[in-house]
Amino acid sequence: MSGSYPNVRMRRTRASGWARNMYRETVMTPADLIWPLFVTEGSGVEEPIATLPGVSRWSIDGIAARAREAVELGIPCVALFPNTPADKRSDDGAEALNPDNLMCRAIKAIRDACGSDIGILTDVALDPYTAHGQDGLIDAAGYVVNDDTVAVLVDQSLNQAEAGADIIAPSDMMDGRVHAIRLALEMNGHPNVQIMSYAAKYASAFYGPFRDAVGSSGLLKGDKKTYQMDPANSDEALREVALDIAEGADSVMVKPGLAYLDIIYRVKQEFGIPVFAYQVSGEYAMIEAAQAAGIGDRDALLMEKLIAFKRAGCSGVLTYHAPVAARILNC
């Protein structure tokens, strides 16, 4: 009988909690999390977002309080997204260049509240500021024009850097914008401001709740398929990443996350650069819906998905569940 048994029993190292912890190949900590936050006008304002249960838009005082919470939880960075009022939106997105806009005021409030204890990542794209909901400037036919948009994105980046942003994250997917932003930062006294490029951002069906959160869903004319990537393509993602690295990106992002684990893995294997995933609004909403329907445990679903990002090669993950995950990891 004993001779027929294998010498190796794979279950030996799974037999107890301490052993499972000791042999665990992939480890996650709160330092692997970035917390996206939505900023709105007013004071003392919390606006729950119906399509993102548990997520709210916060006025600037609330954003500062969330940043302090992040510091206490060990979350190293927050990402800011503004809900620009309709009367400040325009076809040219000029509010993006206002040094007193929501984004800039939120940056300064977080810096005042937390000093250098937290990193501030800022979104660079025009969709929170345009009346038409596109990420860039459009021509008479509604096509998003590349080079004129890049010129505005450069000024938007400088505006945010001068307000105190630590990481500029262009999410627009215009060609050549990383090089232009990097050059402008270097020439204007911001050599240590990082660029985390949305290098492989797909034209995904998972973005709906986010567009509700920033107020662009009802405004969007057409789609974004002329600049965001085709979900069928993976080799193209490697070309996009290679270009952004050559243009000066310090790290790159794959968006969305879970449906593109193969892209994360290929990027990490090919380039060895820090890769981040965005667990986008649709992914978040599905976890919350599973919990509400009683068909899955939110915490277990969340942590399994987050560890999948790490296992695929991510240095970190942007997730609206960041405070939930941090509390679980801190237990």
Task: Show binding-site residues for Mg(2+).
Answer: 240
Q: What are phi and psi of 209, to 5 degrees?
A: -60, -35
Contact 142, 171 (CB under 8 A): no
Q: What is the DSSP letter of 73?
A: H
Q: What are phi and psi of 119, to 5 degrees?
A: -90, 150
CB count in 10 Å sphere of residue 231: 14
Strand 316-319 vs strand 33-39: parallel, antiparallel, or unpaired? parallel
- Rounded-to-integer distance, Cα 294 and Cα 54, Å: 17
Q: What would the DSSP string read from start to end of 99-149? A: TTSHHHHHHHHHHHHHTTSSEEEEEE-STTTBSS--SS-B-TTS-B-HHHH
CA pseudo-torsion sign 196, 217, 107, 52: negative
Q: Given 88, 108, 201, 310, which residue is catalytic?
A: 201
Q: Is 319 helix (H, G, I), strand (E, B) or coil?
A: strand
Q: Is 255 helix (H, G, I), strand (E, B) or coil?
A: strand
Q: Is 201 one of the catalytic residues?
A: yes
Detail the residues annotated as belonging to a binding site: 240
Q: Given 255, 268, 305, 310, which residue is catalytic?
A: 255
Catalytic residues, by residue number, are: 201, 255
